A and B are shown apart, each in its own frame.
Chain A
Amino acid sequence: MTISSRTIPDRLRSPLEQRLKSWEALLLLVAICIFAANSFASPYFLNAWNLSDATFNFTEKAMIAFAMALLIISGEIDLSVASIIALSSTAMGAAVQMGMGTPILVLIGLGVGLLCGSFNGLLVTRMGLPSIVVTIGTMSLFRGISFIVLGDQAYRGYPSDFSWFGQGYVWWVISFEFVLFMVIAAIYFVLLHKTNFGRAVYAIGNNPTGALFSGIRVQRIKFILFILTGLMSGIAAICLTARLGSTRPSIATGWELEVVTMVVLGGISILGGSGTIVGVIIAAFVMGLVTFGLGLLNVPGIVMSIVIGALLIGVIALPRLWSVWRAR
């Protein structure tokens, strides 16, 4: 229970001051500090190719994180995203065995994502079930289907032009995945901050009943958000499968939690109703820089997860500690 009394200030804060004190500014500061620390700590860090490699750490997860951000703002959550990747990748792998070409593979990847997303959406919006439990269920179900199909086997032999989605470069060190990430970020920025749809998402997150009585089609918008999350997972599945060149049922294990971490770190309230896409973009860079910088220092992946976990709790706890301390 938060104990807070709202006082109306004598003077409104200026827009500049507001912007400087925002979550995004704090996060940007963290990102810059990490960047500076990294470039001091390792001589290999400031290298265009290395930095380009670093982007692969977060681009795929960030694509899902944007859709997840909208979903969380609207007060729902989708924990099945990593399993959608597994199922969609398995479907593409099966198609390869049947000799399908790249365009069909992409369609299958997107289609499976779309289907899984609408399955989640139907369960949540039509049947009125809590999304956290539904998606824990579909998380087991989707990955379970991959396990049934693949068992302990793996699909390989993706066509060489398919691997361009994960390994290709558009120009010099700018990878296709990075361009896709930027494009998707821009689309979601416009969608959330410049359209009626985006305003409706905020309204639903803040007060679903109020939104309903304001004439917002609450369930339909939530359904669309689930479909979008599924679709982004499908896109991420295409990129990841193309990059790895093989499919195992354990592909992308644990990503759902990393995606949620990214979203929360980006300043999206887990209770819904607030947050920005810019925050998520910076959070994606922060997580990518941390894992890559520590990787250059030969820190094992599991230790990095301590840093990510501490970052998640710390970044949220510190401002609250500060306000508790100031209230005294």
Chain B
Amino acid sequence: MVKRFIKSRETFLICAIILLITIISLRFPGFIRPQNLANVFNDTSPLILLAIGQMIVILTKCIDLSVAANLALTGMVVAMVNVAAPELPIVFTLMMAVSLGALLGMFNGILVWKLAIPSIVVTLGTMTIFRGTIFVISDGKWVNSHEMSSAFKAFPRMEILGLPVLGWIAIITVMVFTLVMSRTTLGRAFYAAGGNPHAATYAGINVGKTQFWAFTISGALAGLSGYLWVSRFAVSYVDIAGGFELDVVAACVIGGVSIMGGIGTVIGALLGALFLGIIKNALPVIDISPFWQMAISGCAIIIAVALNAQANRKKGRIILKRAELKT
């Protein structure tokens, strides 16, 4: 029953995306060219990565508002290390980005787990701390394209079968986490911890620890996106990806992830991110001012959350809610 609902949400989203692309291609036929669609996917990849991490955190009834700041901080550190030591291999850079991001995520996780501080408070705090730290370590300066080594910049743009590495990383991440969420104990624990924390505790799942791992994964993905973002745009400064955390939450909500925890899929998060990404990329080509983007994504979020609530209500899990609504 539940599964059918989630499935219908995803088919619904796929239909919405196809409809969106059709409408856009009526105004601008070039949009539907495979090369352009690949570009749009590539452009949306950082959002996809972050949305997957955020989805896992939201599954456990938490929220991670520090992802964009984590991305920016990791990106800056990686860029500065690259400037200082341009000859370091790219594998090392990738590992550094992932582990630094994971460490920052663990910091959030430890506060949520060991001190039981609400996640919104923790990540609100770490968000400003991370941003501030970027300013402190970079002294407010930009790391520009000409300072970065060419290998550093080339990696995410390298094309394999017509799609840049950046896009491939998103695809691989989606596949890996689809498996992790459905086929591993940890993956199921995320659902259990958010769906019903008390039952999860009695089933032998350490809810706090599960939340800790959720934050670690979200941090690691943010760190990875940090390097990809900085090398793709070939610039790093304090404000990169400012406000991006809300886009990420929006992608999750549009993808059918319930903010109450326990409901959501990797594919949903992927589709939610793609939906936002297509809107963002399509507005300029169909001659709508990019200033419309914010209002449109705002409407999309509200509509999506209303649909989510409809889907949840029919399940009849919350009995009192209806009585409450009638007053």
Contacts and interface: CB of A to CB of B under 8 A. Distances in A.
Q: Are A and B genuine complex partners?
A: yes
B124 A271 contact: no
Contacts of B243: 253
Nearest to B302: A137
Interface in A291-313: 300, 302-306, 308-310, 312-313
Nearest to A316: B117
A220 B125 CA distance: 32
B89 interface: no
Specify which of B126, B208, B246, B302 lies most central, judged by the most chain A CB atoms within 10 Å of its CB. Answer: B302
A324 interface: yes
Contacts of B67: none
Contacts of B140: 300, 302
A137 B122 contact: no
A113 interface: no
A264 B250 contact: no
B289 A148 contact: yes
B30 interface: no
Contact of B260 (A130, A310, A313): A130
A180 interface: no
Nearest to A127: B306
Nearest to A220: B327
Interface stretch (B2-10, B165-173, B291-299): B291-299
A316 B120 CA distance: 13
Contacts of A260: 120, 124
Contact of B118 (A208, A271, A308): A271
Nearest to B65: A257
A320 B117 contact: yes
A57 interface: no
A317 B111 contact: yes
B259 interface: yes
Interface in A166-203: none
Interface in B280-327: 289, 291-302, 305-306, 309, 313, 320-321, 323-325, 327
Nearest to B297: A140
Contact of A136 (B124, B293, B301): B301
A151 interface: yes
Contacts of A139: 246, 298
A11 to B, nearest CB: 29
A320 B115 contact: yes
A195 B259 CA distance: 33
Contact of B325 (A128, A138, A257, A310): A128
Contacts of B129: 305-306, 309-310, 313
Nearest to A310: B129
Nearest to B252: A133
B305 A137 contact: yes
A219 B298 CA distance: 24
A20 interface: no
Interface string A190-225: 000000000000000000110010000111100000
Contacts of B132: 302-306, 309
| Most chain B beta-carbon contacts within 10 A, residue among A220, A257, A309 | A309
A308 to B, nearest CB: 6
Interface of A: 1-2, 123, 126-130, 132-134, 136-145, 147-148, 151, 208-209, 212, 217-220, 249, 253, 257, 260-261, 264, 270-271, 300, 302-306, 308-310, 312-313, 316-317, 320-321, 324
Given A130-B259, A308-B128, 11 more contacts: A140-B246, A219-B324, A257-B65, A257-B124, A264-B121, A264-B124, A270-B118, A303-B136, A306-B132, A309-B128, A313-B117
